[in-house]
């Protein structure tokens, strides 16, 4: 008889082939206590396939469950490459784990060390009398996962006499998954094989723990460990609640708020090269280095990451929930199930549309629909950006160039075109106002851009008001491909500039959006936009909940990396039973609304550019009144790469004539049109 109060069904079943009997239980697990009811005092051996956030969880299981000589064999299915860094400063824990492994009471197998990730959750519990409890479902042996009182897991439980065909199925499943993992601590056990001295043993264990476990720079590895510390921290957790929702929906999941972690400690053993620099940095934020231990509040760790690298700490935990560490002690859970009430989704989407409709209400532009589409394209990119490392993993596996097909964002437009407002609004949607400002473009240089790779965060890094000449071409073109290993999360990049396009080589690796608009510069406009962009809106949390379960698709018709993100927006509109606006970019907005074409058309119709031939090449010659280094260059950079265009003073040499003719939006058949003037 089950002791789980949330059991839905218990029944005896008979296996048709053998006529053997077993017991079936279907149940829900709402708390850790529900799960623990199955781990009874008579268990002698456990085999498990699960996620587990630390070796301490496994040690606690061995000490508190089953018989005195209980043994545990576990396949850790998540992307934890090595538990070694979790043992720094915990030599006694490492000693206990080693002793348990020597006594054949514990074996830990890590799937990630073979480049695998296993999502199966399976438990085989062997009882003293030979009977078995086989559990299949979704619960993890994870402190992080069971920290939430709102988590629910479904399980199917099969109780057998221990020697039935059903047991063979579970044995087969387990053995099949076991082959995906490699033993943890096996190298340490070998080093300690013939060591008799306790002092020497401690020395070996200490040296093993301090060993570097990744190929990353010290700074990057430390940031990775700090992210894991935040993931394990006992802190208050909330989510984004819309102004139109019940404020009681705020999700506080700390078991005991009075016992929340106010300070986290991180061992600095193994970081001798980085230690002096870190000691200097801690003077500027709420942290300290005491010997070889860093102590800092959770908020200070995230604030330091934002100030140093441009991104606060944002990560996916072992339960695939997107988490943001705010500058306070609070963490935001940014993956939230959609409400059953479509009106709430409708209201959130209406709030979003009001931002785009500022173009109609306060803007001056000849291309309102195109500008709104490009603004939406930018929001789609920002919503997609936290998932960029998931795409990197799949693309890398298929040999796809990460820097070419994981687009950075580049937004340009004249002062007053709403570019800065875009980044602040996107940050607000992603963080509920906890992240406000992008990085100052003056700080952009080769060294700063390279350092971004070390932050271990999925929050996008944005450089505002940049000079395109400060964006180093080689550093940008090789930002991700040569450095992404999957060990440290590398954030997506965005750049904002005042009406200046980057170099052509950079354009071909970025999503280029042109905000061809001027917003009215009035107090009323400023107040309206400020109030609109500072409203709490949960739309990103719903997007993230849907998007995290979508596969990364290898597209055959195009290379639209954001295609699945567009589909999630369409699904949100379907859930809300709301009509999708006509300006929604169902394909990349920069391709559907190529503002560069309109620029050329305006220049052609107004007589600012004429065409001629020289040495078999097409030449676009601009009026001498235009600036060579800004205006003419701007036209040159809007031409597609297929035209093989090159600027020379106030002229643009076009080597691929047919591609240019296909691209120019001129009516070549009308009198006085392009071809007539060209041939005259």
SS (H, E, C) 509-522: CEEEEECCCEECCC
For 129-168, the pLDDT digits (tens) are: 999 999 999 888 876 555 444 568 899 999 999 989 899 9
If you average pLDDT over each of 84-93, 142-151, 189-198, 531-540, which comes out highest?
A: 531-540
pLDDT over threshold 90, residue 30: no
Q: Taking residues 36-48, what's their average pLDDT?
A: 93
pLDDT bin (cut points 50, 70, 90) of residue 185 is: confident
In the chain, the domains with their CATH numbers are 7-202 (3.30.870.10), 216-333 (no CATH), 359-539+549-592 (3.40.50), 595-679 (no CATH)
CA dist list (Å): 251 to 142, 237, 314, 365, 545: 19, 6, 18, 43, 15
What is the C-alpha separation between 84 and 184, in angstroms, rounded? 9
Assess whether pLDDT exceeds 80 at residue 331: yes
Residue 381 has pLDDT above 90, yes or no: yes
| 301: pLDDT strictly greater than 60 | yes
Average the pLDDT over each of 72-81, 471-480, 601-610 and give the range with the smallest value. 72-81
pLDDT greater than 60 at residue 289: yes
Q: For residue 211, what pLDDT is reported?
A: 63
Give the pTM.
0.72
Give the number of other Cβ atoms within 10 Å of residue 207's Cβ. Answer: 13
**Mean pLDDT, rounded, for 69-76:** 91
Three-state DSSP at 134 gives strand
Q: Please give the distance of CA 70 from its chain centroid, rounded to a whole number.
A: 39
Least confident of 29-43, 81-95, 188-202, 596-610: 81-95
Mean pLDDT for the stretch of residues 413-442? 94
- For residue 661, the model assigns a pLDDT of 84
Residue 112 and residue 79 in contact, taking contact as beta carbons nearer than 8 Å:
yes
- Average per-residue pLDDT in the chain? 86
Q: What is the pLDDT of residue 551?
A: 92
**% residues pLDDT > 90 (the chain):** 48
Ranking 63-72, 87-96, 441-450, 654-663 by mean pLDDT, the lowest is 87-96
Task: Give the pLDDT confidence of 508-526 residue by residue, as tens digits.
Answer: 889 999 998 999 999 999 9
At 97, is the pLDDT very low, low, confident or very high (cuts 50, 70, 90)?
Answer: confident
d(CA 62, CA 44): 10
Q: Does 564 have pLDDT greater than 80?
A: yes
pLDDT of residue 625: 82
Alpha carbon 322 to chain centroid, angstroms:
8
Between 116 and 402, where is the model more confident?
402
Residue 45 phi, psi (nearest 5)? -155, 140
Specify the pLDDT at position 673.
45
Q: Which element (helix H / strand E) includes 99? A: helix 91-102
Token pair belonging to 538: 């949960």
In the predicted structure, residue 668 carries a pLDDT above the cut 60: no
For the chain, percent of residues with pLDDT exceeding 70: 91
Mean pLDDT of 187-192: 80
Reported as type and span, the H/E element at residue 448 is helix 446-451
Res 256 pLDDT > 60: no
């Amino acid at each position: 008889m089950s002791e789980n109060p949330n059991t839905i069904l218990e029944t005896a079943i008979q296996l048709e082939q053998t006529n053997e009997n077993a017991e079936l239980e279907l149940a829900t697990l709402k708390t850790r206590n529900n799960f623990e009811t199955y781990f009874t005092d008579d268990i002698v051996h456990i085999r498990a396939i699960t996620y587990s956030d630390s070796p301490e969880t496994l040690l606690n299981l061995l000490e508190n469950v089953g018989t005195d000589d209980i043994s545990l064999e576990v396949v850790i299915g998540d992307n934890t490459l090595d538990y070694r860094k979790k043992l720094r400063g915990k030599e006694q824990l490492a000693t206990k784990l080693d002793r348990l492994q020597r006594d054949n009471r514990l074996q830990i197998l890590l799937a990630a060390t073979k480049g695998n990730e296993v999502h199966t959750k399976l438990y085989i519990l062997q009882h003293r009398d030979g009977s078995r409890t086989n559990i299949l479902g979704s619960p993890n042996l994870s402190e992080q996962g069971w920290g939430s009182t709102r988590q629910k897991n479904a399980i199917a439980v099969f109780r057998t006499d221990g020697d039935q065909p059903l047991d063979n199925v579970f044995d087969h499943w387990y053995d099949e998954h076991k082959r995906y993992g490699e033993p943890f601590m096996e190298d340490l056990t070998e080093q300690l094989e013939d060591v008799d001295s306790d002092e020497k043993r401690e020395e070996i264990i200490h040296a093993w723990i301090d060993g570097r476990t990744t190929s990353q720079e010290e700074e990057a590895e430390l940031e990775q460990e700090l992210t894991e510390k935040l993931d394990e921290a006992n802190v208050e957790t909330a989510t984004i609640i819309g102004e139109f929702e019940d404020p009681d929906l705020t999700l506080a999941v700390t078991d005991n708020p009075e016992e929340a972690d106010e300070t986290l400690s991180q061992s600095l053993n193994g970081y001798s090269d980085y230690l002096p620099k870190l000691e200097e940095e801690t003077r500027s934020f709420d942290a300290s280095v005491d010997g070889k231990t860093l102590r800092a509040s959770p908020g200070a760790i995230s604030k330091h990451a934002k100030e140093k690298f441009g991104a606060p700490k944002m990560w996916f935990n072992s339960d695939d929930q997107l988490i943001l560490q705010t500058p306070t002690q609070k963490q935001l859970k940014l993956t939230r199930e959609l409400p059953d009430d479509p009106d709430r989704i409708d209201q959130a989407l209406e709030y979003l549309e009001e931002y785009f409709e500022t173009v109609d209400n306060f803007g001056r532009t000849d291309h309102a629909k195109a500008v709104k589409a490009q603004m939406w394209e930018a929001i789609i990119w920002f919503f997609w950006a936290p998932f960029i490392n998931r795409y990197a993993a799949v693309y890398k596996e298929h040999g796809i160039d990460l820097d070419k097909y994981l687009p950075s964002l580049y937004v340009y437009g004249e002062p007053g075109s709403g570019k800065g407002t875009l980044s602040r609004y996107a940050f607000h949607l992603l963080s509920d106002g906890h992240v406000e400002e992008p990085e100052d473009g003056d700080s952009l240089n080769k060294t700063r851009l390279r350092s971004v790779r070390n932050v271990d965060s999925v929050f996008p890094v944005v450089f505002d008001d940049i000079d395109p000449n400060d964006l180093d071409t080689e550093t940008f073109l090789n930002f991700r491909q040569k450095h992404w290993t999957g060990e440290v999360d590398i954030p997506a990049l965005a750049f904002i500039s005042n009406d200046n396009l980057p170099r052509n080589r950079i354009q071909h690796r970025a999503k280029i959006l042109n905000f061809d608009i001027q917003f009215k510069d009035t107090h009323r406009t400023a107040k309206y936009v400020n109030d609109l962009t500072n409203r709490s809106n949960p739309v990103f949390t719903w997007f993230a909940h849907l998007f995290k379960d979508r596969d990364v698709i290898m597209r055959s018709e195009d290379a639209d990396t954001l295609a699945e993100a567009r589909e999630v927006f369409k699904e949100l509109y379907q859930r809300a039973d709301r009509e999708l606006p006509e300006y929604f970019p169902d394909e990349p907005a920069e391709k559907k609304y190529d503002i560069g074409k309109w620029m050329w058309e305006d220049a052609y119709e107004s007589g600012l550019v004429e065409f001629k031939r020289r040495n078999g090449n097409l030449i676009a010659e601009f009026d001498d009144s235009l600036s060579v280094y800004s205006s003419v260059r701007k036209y040159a950079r809007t031409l597609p790469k297929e035209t093989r265009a090159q600027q020379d003073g106030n002229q643009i040499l076009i080597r691929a004539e047919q591609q240019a003719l296909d691209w120019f939006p001129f009516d070549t058949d009308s009198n006085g049109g392009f071809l007539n003037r060209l041939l005259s």
